[in-house]
Amino acid sequence: MDFIINPANARIVGTPGEYAWGGMAGTAFRIDPVEDMTVIQT
């Protein structure tokens, strides 16, 4: 599980409080409560 506290220090695009995790076969799940967005990648 990944949890973003400071996107600038992590050098990634995202917002503070965003969290995600990867699954088997390259799937990914991401939740961004600031942007009110949920993403499921397959």
> Model confidence over 17-32: pLDDT tens digits?
999 999 888 899 999 9
Distance CA 26, CA 42 (A): 7
> Over the chain, what is the mean pLDDT?
88
State the total domains in the chain: 1
Q: Which pLDDT band holds residue 10 (cuts at 50, 70, 90)? A: confident
Distance CA 26, CA 16 (A): 24
- The strand ranges marked E within the chain are 2-3, 19-22, 28-32, 37-41
Backbone dihedral region of 36: left (phi > 0), alpha (psi from -120 to 50 degrees) or beta? Answer: left
Range of the domain at 22: 2-41
